[in-house]
């Protein structure tokens, strides 16, 4: 994906929204096109550039349309390949990636169906994948030069907390017309 996105001059820590904004500004300056005309020709929205400059995060499909219009490679196919490669290599569950990276368990399924998330979400998912990939890979033995995946359960960083059973004092039930009586429960 980085090779295809190199046309946007990727810099670590720079969001895709900012990179797209800069690429649009450079293209408009090079071709002498006004902001309103650019938005109208590319998307049929004369206010596109102005809303983007105010900080609106565009969707991946919209960014792809803009990049193709400017003669650059689209981001969407590369991002989808990157997500699938991450899932295959790490063995992480698709729902885990979506839930932890974007707060949406169905993110990967929707990506596979052609959904177009916002570039802000793409940034969060890519940062999450980079962090998890870095944590999961480690040298297997000093000086061996090989790497192995830690033997953790399929992409989970921590185990689920175990809930303690409450004692019999917490099983009070209120009955009609009687005082509180305790029900016996085996522990």
Q: Give the residue carrying structure tokens 């997500």.
A: 83
pLDDT in tens, 26-83: 999 999 999 999 999 999 999 999 999 998 999 999 999 999 999 999 999 999 999 9
Boundary residue ending a domain (34, 69, 104): 69
pLDDT in tens, 127-164: 999 888 766 554 444 554 544 444 444 444 444 444 44
Reply yes or no on whether the pLDDT at 1 is more than 70: no
Residues 64 and 88 in one domain: no
- How many helices (H) and strands (E) are present in the chain, helices listed first? 9, 4
Domain extent for 103: 76-137
Q: Is residue 112 part of a domain?
A: yes
Residues 26 and 80 in one domain: no
The full DSSP string for 127-168 is HHHHHHHHHHEEESSTTT--EEE---STT-SSPPPPPPPP-G
What is the domain count for the chain? 2
Residues 41 and 62 in one domain: yes
Burial class (CB in 10 A: 0-12, 13-18, 19+), 45: middle
Provide CB contacts within 8 A for 69, sequence distance 6+: 41, 42
Q: Using CA atoms, how far apart are residues 97 and 106, in angstroms rounded to an integer? A: 9
Provide CB contacts within 8 A for 17, sequence distance 6+: 52, 55, 57, 58, 119, 120, 123
pTM above 0.75, yes or no: no
Residues 39 and 80 in one domain: no
Boundary residue ending a domain (48, 69, 90): 69
Residues 87 and 53 in one domain: no
Residues 112 and 127 in one domain: yes
Q: Is residue 108 part of a domain?
A: yes
Instruction: Measure CA 41 to chain center.
Output: 30
pLDDT in tens, 111-120: 999 999 999 9
Strand 147-149 and strand 181-182: pairing?
unpaired
Phi, psi of 44 (to 5 degrees): 75, 20
Per-residue confidence (pLDDT) for residue 174, from 0 to 100: 45
Boundary residue ending a domain (19, 50, 69): 69
Q: Is residue 86 part of a domain?
A: yes
Residues, the chain: 187
- How far is the CA of 13 from the CAs of 41, 67, 101, 166, in angstroms? 31, 21, 17, 47
Lowest-confidence pick of 52-61, 82-91, 165-174: 165-174
């Amino acid at each position: 994906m980085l090779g295809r996105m190199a046309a946007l001059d990727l810099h670590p820590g720079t969001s895709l929204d900012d990179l797209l904004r800069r690429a649009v500004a450079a293209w408009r300056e090079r071709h002498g096109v006004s902001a309103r005309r650019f938005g109208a020709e590319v998307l049929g929205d004369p206010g596109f550039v102005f809303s983007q400059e105010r900080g609106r995060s565009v969707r991946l499909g919209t960014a792809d349309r803009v990049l193709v219009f400017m003669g650059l490679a689209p981001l969407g196919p590369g991002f989808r390949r990157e997500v699938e490669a991450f899932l295959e290599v790490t063995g992480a569950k698709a729902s885990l990636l979506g839930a932890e990276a974007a707060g949406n368990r169905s993110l990967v399924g929707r990506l596979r169906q052609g959904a177009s998330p916002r570039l802000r979400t793409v940034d969060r998912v890519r940062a999450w994948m980079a962090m998890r990939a870095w944590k999961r890979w480690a040298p297997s033995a000093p000086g061996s030069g090989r790497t192995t995946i830690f033997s953790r359960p399929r992409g989970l960083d921590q185990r689920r907390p175990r809930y303690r059973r409450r004692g019999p004092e917490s099983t009070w039930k209120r009955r009609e017309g009687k005082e509180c009586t305790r029900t016996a429960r085996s522990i």
